[in-house]
Structures are given as structure tokens and as C-alpha cells.
Structure 1
Amino acid sequence: MSKATPATRALESAGVAFTLHTYDYDPDAESIGLQAASALGEDPARVLKTLMAVVDGKPVCVIVPSNQEVSMKKLAIAAGGKSAQMMKPPEAERLTGFKVGGISPFGQRKAVRTVLERSALAHDQVYLNGGQRGLQVRVRPADVRDVLTAVVADVIA
């Protein structure tokens, strides 16, 4: 597994301190985020999942704890829109340049508005996808917010 991905290169160029963590990715897992948390031996609230959504026709990246679901109504409001829906996997892959199960909020092909679930900031360190299946980066949540210029909001259902 290559440790150099568009995500890790984006973090390095932004000067963000991070550590890499690999695990055995299970493509058949019911929840990729929960499987990652289990494989890493981490609290699912600290292992964040990166989801791609569409708010009023515009792409939005939303980051929430792996054990939570996104409220589409709250996401729409946080992104300044009226309605939100999840993006279809092929569209998310095309837009981000990453495969589903390996989508990172860092180093996406095109920068999009990002919404970070407020509860993520309660942790010293969080895990996010590092740009490929089975690779996570551990970073400070404040760095996630700052590097992505993310809107911080309560977006969990």
C-alpha cells in the first residue's frame, strides 16, 4: 500500500502534523467507518467518515463520526441551502478522485464546501481516510477545520 496519496500530499503541503494508520479494509462491511474503527481499536466517535452530498445541486463534503448518521435537513442548513441528498457513489468517485471506501476530505480533485460535525472538535485527535481503502490519517480536528476551511455545525441526525 502506497502511503503517498493526494490526501497525504495535501496535508504535508499544508504543514499539518499527522500519523498514518493502516488496517485490513473489508469491502463487505455493513459500515466502512465502523469497520475501520474496530480494526484500529478506536472509539467510533473518533474515527470520522467522509461523505459526499449535494446541497441545492452543489457538491458538499460532510465529515461525521463513523457511528452517526447525517441529518439531510441540518446539512442543508449548514451549507446554506434548502435541500440535501447523498451523492451517488460513481459521482463521488469522479468528483473526488478517490474510490468509495477511500474518500478523503483532503486532496480531492476539486475543492468543495466542507461541513465538519461539531462534536469532532471535542477530541484531541481524530482519524479520517487517508485517500485509499485501509489507510487512515490521525490529525487534530482543529487542523481538519482549518485546512479545509470547514463550516462547523451540528449535522448528525
Structure 2
Amino acid sequence: MAKGTPATRALERAGITFTLHEYDYDPDAARIGLQAAEALGVDPARVLKTLMARAGRETVCVVVPSDREVSLKRLAAAAGAKEAAMLPPAEAERITGYHVGGISPFGQKKRVRVFIDREALTHPTVVLNGGRRGLQVEMRTADLVGLLGATVVALT
């Protein structure tokens, strides 16, 4: 088993059952989530990517299927803001404590509001980043929203 990360420790503390999946991370992949899905042999719709954004003046975490793109207009509306934009990588890393390509919605340094795309919840289990590049956690979809206190909304 891989060395624990803040994400896996947060899942363990919450009593969430999960399975670890390791793969060879490709830093040159055009789309990290799709590369993870391919490497693991998992439907890209079940592999969720974790993105960090700013909605108005608020930093938020966004979780969407790896084969979809976030509508910043929908994100802004969901957050009650006039506009939204993705955070620059260095800022996302500073806020979360993770490196880009290894950002997990669990165990971030600073707790922020989480928005999950409704389409991400259509499978019994989902796969998300486990807190480092090349490490994914698979868990029951039913556990995801409650653990993160997330708002579920159409974001794609």
C-alpha cells in the first residue's frame, strides 16, 4: 500500500471505505484525468478531476468527470458570483497543499466550498485523486457528497 497522504488520512478518519489505485503518472499528458482513466482502464466518466477556481472573491473546489469541461458561467451562478475563473497552478498548490496533478478534494490545507457536477454522481463508485500524482482512490459515490459537504449542481 502507498504511503498515506493527507487525502487518504482524511478518508480514514471519516471512516470511508476506499481502494487505492496507483498508475504511472505522465507529466506531459494533455489531460491528466483522461490519462489516469486510460492507465487504470476505467471509464473516464467515473474518474473525477479536482479543479480549484475563484468564484467572485471566494476560492472553491470543483469536482467533475475527467471527460467533461467546467462551465465557468454555471460555476459562478452556483456560487452566487458574477464571474468565475480557474486558479493559476501555483495558487492552487499553495491553497491545497498538493501539487497540480495530485490535487485531491480531501485533506486540503484550507477548507473551501466544494461543487460537484451532477453528472459525476451517476455511477455507484467514482475514482478521485488520492493526494499525489499517480495515486487515485475509488470510493462509493454515496459517500462523496456528504464527506465534502458539497453542493451538487450542473457544471458542465
Shorter chain as normaliser: what TM range? over 0.9
1:5-154 matches, cutoff 5 A = 5-154=5-154
Q: Report the AA paired with residue 107 of structure 1.
A: G
Higher strand share: 2
Q: Report the AA paired with residue 72 of structure 1.
A: L
CA RMSD of aligned residues (A): 1.0
What residue ranges of structure 1 are gaps of 5+ in the alignment?
A: none
Identity %: 64
Q: TM-score, normalised by structure 2?
A: 0.98
Per-residue deviation, residues 52-111 of structure 1 (Å, max 9, x unmatched): 000001100000000100000001111222210000000000000000000000000011
- Displacement of 1:3 after TM fit? 3.0
Instruction: Tell me how many residue pairs correspond in the alignment.
Output: 156
Give the 3-state SS of the residue equivalent to 1:130 in structure 2: strand
Number of the residue aligned with 2:4: 4
- Displacement of 1:123 after TM fit? 0.3
> Partners in 2 of 1:16 and 1:78 — Cα distance?
27
Per-residue deviation, residues 88-142 of structure 1 (Å, max 9, x unmatched): 0000000000000000000000110000010111100000000000000001122
